[in-house]
């Protein structure tokens, strides 16, 4: 049976310290602890206390787990040298920490003073609702006062947003006419450095710096040489990052506190002074396995485990402090015993603290929504500025315009009304986007607020998340819906989860514009004609708006901006490409799909549907291209004596069932026209909800797209919903011949 290494590591540390020879006491604690290094004796003691507390928390996590009181045992043992990184920073520098940065978190807590960092960790281990960042939802290192947003990622998906935060802080300061001094930092492991998301962040940082755009981010790789059971090749991280263009490389020994502090101070000073990115490579060691459930003996020999334990950074710090005469061996052990006693008592207290007890309590941070505050945040803008920007007040024009034109006007109004708003993505600046929806905005508002990014969706969304942290209102564009899948975890795992895992203290206010859906004529299939919306509807708490007409688009965009500003919500604005330039509805030249520009302040609240007609024979519910087709079908049905009403759902997440229900019941028959894929669209949910709520009194039918990728050219029509299908389904549901 494998021996638990927890007790072994603890006993070895005690024995090692007892065997240290005492030195002559030092009286000047503000002198360097070691000649040639800047870390003082006084600061070294403070950091040593953070290292000890981190280690004891790791021990207690496993003890409590054995008692059924703790639910998380991935520890920081062996990585405690990261306390030196915290000491080299200021508490105002945003820090995105991975799960082995416990000593960093505790060192930063001691910088602030009065923050019970260790108790916060213990409350998190016990999933207590009193834990001040996640409130029992997850064990994370996080604190709003300490500027440590909680990270749920273990594989570096937080690195793009750290980069985004760095760039965003600089942009925000420039907009305020100030100079930014803070830097952003992200910590991660050697194994995670190989992840595609991490490589994206490194590449984007270098790409940004290459153009002399300020990008003050420090990437800190805590290299322990192993990822769970997979070894990192010797020398790989150093060779991989030492000579990267525009990404300055620093290295230090995270097992030796003075050396770690020296390297950290040099790296931090470089980033702070030059406003350029850097990579800090810290040597660490992993003690006690990957986590409490990990049987390390299955993939490491006894000699390898013993060799790792001999490198224990706590031993090395104790050695340094005793050799310098700052502490005696007895004083070191007294600090250690005191931490055991203090934190042990706090751990017992943590087990007695309440847990989350209701479904509503768990999910509350995801759905913070204040319609009154959103309406107030919609904004009206300055008429003189708007007239100068547009050449006229758009709402005073009596000329109806198409969808793309009205979205352009609405984006211009948002940029004018909100100084913190920035719009960015691939090709959005001079070109104005692939479909020219953002045409002239960069020229009119300036390249500092409307700008192109490199062609990488992960970077675009990471920049948006980080910009939100920096106090900006990001409006990123994803060029095509299918491209979102290249970077979807930035929405699902990062932006979507932040309010949840911070109990609403941190948020990612943003409006993500995505050109999508199908029906583009004579255009390439699959990536440019994509109707897969299932992933978007899978993100808890995210708003998904899908307008079909220009006036609705303006009002819904205003709502998403208001929700981001007032409630910190993440919103997706799904723009149907095939309707961008559509002008007519029933006949060529009728102009019925063009609209006037809504007056400032007008908006469509989340969950409000659009209703066309008041017929009671049939209710047709649809959205986007399906709405356009359904209205055409409804007119043909009218010629057959059928009076239908057509409901534009508009909101795809959450679905507006409450608003649809009375229309379905008034007609008694509901036809749902869903242009998206049968297995991942909205029709099944709509039908199930309506039937259940009506007690089966509403008869239903569905017309849906096939479960198929969109092929090229006219073949696309074979798998997409067509008007004859809608009409045939309506006739069948109505019992007409």
Which domain CATH number covers 85? Answer: 3.40.50.970
69 with 196, same domain?
Answer: yes
Query: Which whole number is the average pLDDT over 664-685?
Result: 97
- In the predicted structure, residue 315 carries a pLDDT above the cut 60: yes
Mean of the per-residue pLDDT values for the chain? Answer: 95
240 with 305, same domain?
Answer: yes
32 with 66, same domain?
Answer: yes
**How many CA atoms lie within 13 Å of 213's alpha carbon, on the beta-carbon side?**
19
162 with 28, same domain?
Answer: yes
Task: Read off the pLDDT band of 328 (50, 70, 90).
Answer: very high
Q: How far apart are CA 664 and CA 685, in angstroms?
A: 14
Task: Read off the pLDDT band of 526 (50, 70, 90).
Answer: confident
565 with 615, same domain?
Answer: no
396 with 333, same domain?
Answer: no
640 within domain boundaries:
yes
499 with 641, same domain?
Answer: no
346 within domain boundaries:
yes
Q: What is the pLDDT of residue 522?
A: 73
Structure confidence by residue, pLDDT tens digits, 431-481: 999 999 999 999 999 999 999 999 999 999 999 999 999 999 999 999 999
Residue bearing tokens 């490589």: 199
Structure confidence by residue, pLDDT tens digits, 690-715: 999 999 999 999 999 999 999 988 89
In 10 A of CB 713, how many CB atoms?
A: 11
**CB of 411 closer than 8 Å to CB of 385:** no
290 with 176, same domain?
Answer: yes
**CB of 558 closer than 8 Å to CB of 608:** no
712 within domain boundaries:
yes
φ/ψ (deg, to 5) at 189: -95, 165
Q: How far apart are CA 421 and CA 117, in angstroms?
A: 35
- Reduced DSSP (H G I as helix, E B as strand, rest coil) percent helix, strand, coil of the chain, to 5: 45, 15, 40
**CB of 506 closer than 8 Å to CB of 150:** yes
**CB of 124 closer than 8 Å to CB of 117:** no
- In the predicted structure, residue 1 carries a pLDDT above the cut 50: no
619 within domain boundaries:
yes
- Nearest 5°: the CA angle 268, 260, 255 is 150
Question: In Å, how far are 62, 82, 249, 389, 559 from 378, measured between CA atoms?
Answer: 50, 44, 45, 19, 6
339 with 397, same domain?
Answer: no
Q: What is the pLDDT of residue 115?
A: 58
Q: What is the pLDDT of residue 293?
A: 86
602 within domain boundaries:
no
Of 309, 324, 352, the position where a domain reaches its end is 352
Q: Point out the least confidently predicted range of 70-74, 646-650, 671-675.
A: 70-74
Query: Which whole number is the average pLDDT over 388-402?
Result: 96
**CB of 504 closer than 8 Å to CB of 370:** no
365 within domain boundaries:
no
Q: For the domain that residue 670 is a member of, what is the CATH number?
A: 3.40.50.920
Residue bearing tokens 């910009």: 467
260 within domain boundaries:
yes
- Span between the terminal Cα atoms of the chain, in Å: 77
Query: Which whole number is the average pLDDT over 100-119?
Result: 90
Q: What is the pLDDT of residue 2?
A: 45
397 with 334, same domain?
Answer: no
Of 289, 402, 397, 234, residue with least CA distance to 61: 289
Rg (CA), the chain: 29
Question: In Å, how far are 91, 129, 268, 518 from 109, measured between CA atoms?
Answer: 8, 20, 19, 52
Token pair belonging to 67:
């008692």
Q: What is the DSSP letter of 34?
A: S
Query: Which whole number is the average pLDDT over 20-42?
Result: 92
594 within domain boundaries:
no
556 with 674, same domain?
Answer: no
Q: What is the pLDDT of residue 523?
A: 73
Q: What is the DSSP letter of 284?
A: -
Query: Which whole number is the average pLDDT over 614-637?
Result: 98
Backbone angle region of 612, left / alpha / beta, with phi > 0 → left and psi within -120 to 50 → alpha: beta
Domain that holds residue 180: 5-352
Task: Read off the pLDDT band of 169 (50, 70, 90).
Answer: very high
Cis check: omega of the bond before 282, within 30 degrees of 0: no
386 with 342, same domain?
Answer: no
Of 352, 383, 399, the position where a domain reaches its end is 352
Q: What is the pLDDT of residue 114?
A: 62
Structural domains of the chain, count: 3
Token pair belonging to 117:
């960092």
Helix (H, G, I), strand (E, B) or coil at 665: helix
- In the predicted structure, residue 116 carries a pLDDT above the cut 80: no
Of 352, 384, 403, the position where a domain reaches its end is 352
Structure confidence by residue, pLDDT tens digits, 274-283: 999 999 999 9
Q: How far apart are CA 431 and CA 414, in angstroms?
A: 20
Q: How far apart are CA 508 and CA 498, in angstroms?
A: 7
Query: Which whole number is the average pLDDT over 677-689?
Result: 96
Question: In Å, how far are 13, 50, 56, 80, 687 from 314, measured between CA atoms?
Answer: 8, 10, 11, 8, 62
């Amino acid at each position: 049976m494998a021996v638990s290494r927890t007790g072994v590591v603890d006993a070895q540390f005690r024995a090692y310290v007892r065997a240290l020879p005492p030195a002559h006491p030092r009286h000047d604690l503000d002198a360097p602890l070691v000649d040639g290094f800047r870390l003082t004796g006084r600061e070294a003691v403070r950091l040593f206390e953070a290292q000890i507390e981190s280690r004891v928390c790791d021990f207690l996590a496993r003890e409590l787990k054995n008692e059924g009181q703790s639910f998380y045992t991935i520890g920081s043992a062996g990585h405690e040298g990261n306390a030196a990184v915290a000491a080299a920073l200021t508490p105002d520098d945003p820090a995105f920490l991975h799960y082995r940065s416990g000593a960093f978190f505790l060192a930063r807590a001691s910088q602030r003073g009065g923050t019970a960092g260790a108790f916060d960790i213990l409350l998190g281990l016990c999933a207590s609702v009193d834990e001040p960042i996640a409130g029992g939802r997850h064990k994370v290192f996080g604190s709003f006062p300490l500027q440590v947003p909680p990270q749920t990622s273990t594989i570096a998906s937080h690195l793009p947003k750290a980069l985004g935060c760095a760039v965003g802080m600089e942009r925000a300061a420039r907009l305020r006419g100030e100079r930014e001094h803070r830097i952003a930092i992200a910590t991660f492991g050697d194994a995670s450095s190989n992840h595609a998301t991490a490589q994206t962040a490194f590449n984007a940082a270098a790409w940004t710096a290459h153009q002399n755009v300020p990008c003050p981010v420090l990437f800190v790789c805590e290299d322990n040489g192993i990822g769970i059971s997979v070894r990192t090749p010797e020398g790989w991280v150093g060779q991989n990052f030492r000579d990267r263009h525009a990404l300055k490389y620093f290295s230090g020994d995270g097992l030796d506190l003075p050396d770690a502090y020296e390297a950290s101070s040099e790296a931090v000073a470089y980033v702070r002074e030059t406003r350029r990115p850097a990579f800090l490579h810290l040597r660490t060691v992993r003690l006690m396995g990957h986590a409490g459930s990990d049987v390390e003996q299955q993939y490491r020999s006894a000699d390898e485990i013993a060799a790792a334990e001999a490198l224990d950074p706590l031993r090395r710090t104790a050695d340094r402090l005793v050799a310098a005469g700052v502490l005696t061996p007895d004083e070191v052990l007294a600090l250690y015993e005191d931490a055991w006693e203090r934190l042990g008592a706090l751990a017992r207290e943590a087990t007695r603290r309440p847990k989350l007890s209701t479904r509503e309590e768990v999910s509350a941070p995801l759905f913070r929504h204040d319609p009154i505050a959103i309406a107030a945040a919609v904004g009206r803008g300055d008429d003189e500025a708007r007239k100068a920007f547009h050449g006229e007040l758009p709402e005073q024009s009596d000329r109806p315009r198409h969808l793309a034109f009205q979205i352009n006007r609405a984006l211009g109004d948002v940029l004018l009304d909100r100084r913190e708003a920035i719009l960015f993505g691939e090709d959005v600046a001079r070109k104005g986007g692939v479909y020219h929806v953002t045409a002239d905005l960069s020229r009119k508002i300036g390249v500092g607020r409307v700008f192109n990014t490199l062609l990488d969706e992960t970077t675009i969304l990471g920049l948006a998340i980080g910009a939100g942290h920096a106090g900006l209102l990001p409006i990123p564009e994803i060029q095509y819906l299918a491209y979102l899948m290249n970077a979807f975890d930035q929405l699902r795992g990062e932006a979507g989860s932040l309010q949840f895992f911070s109990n609403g203290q941190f948020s990612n206010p943003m409006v993500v514009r995505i050109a999508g859906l199908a029906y583009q004529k004579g255009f390439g299939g699959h990536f440019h004609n994509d109707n897969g919306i299932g992933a978007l509807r899978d993100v808890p708490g995210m708003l998904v708006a899908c307008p079909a007409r220009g006036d609705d688009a303006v009002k819904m965009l205003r709502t998403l901006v208001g929700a981001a500003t007032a409630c910190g919500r993440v919103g997706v604005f799904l723009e149907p490409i095939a309707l961008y330039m559509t002008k007519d509805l029933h006949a060529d030249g009728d102009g019925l799909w063009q609209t006037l520009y809504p007056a400032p302040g007008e908006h469509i609240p989340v969950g409000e549907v659009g209703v066309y007609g008041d017929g009671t024979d049939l209710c047709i519910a649809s959205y986007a291209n399906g709405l356009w087709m359904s209205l055409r079908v409804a007119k043909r049905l009218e010629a057959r004596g059928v009076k239908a009403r057509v409901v534009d759902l508009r909101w795809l997440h959450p679905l507006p069932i409450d608003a649809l229900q009375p229309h379905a019941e008034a007609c008694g028959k509901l036809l749902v026209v869903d242009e998206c894929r049968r297995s991942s669209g909205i029709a099944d949910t709509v039908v199930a909800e309506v039937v259940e709520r009506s007690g089966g009194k509403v008869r239903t039918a569905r017309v849906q797209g096939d479960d198929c990728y969109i092929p090229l050219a006219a073949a696309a029509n074979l798998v997409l919903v067509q008007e004859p299908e809608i009409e045939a389904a309506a006739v069948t549901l109505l019992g007409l011949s």
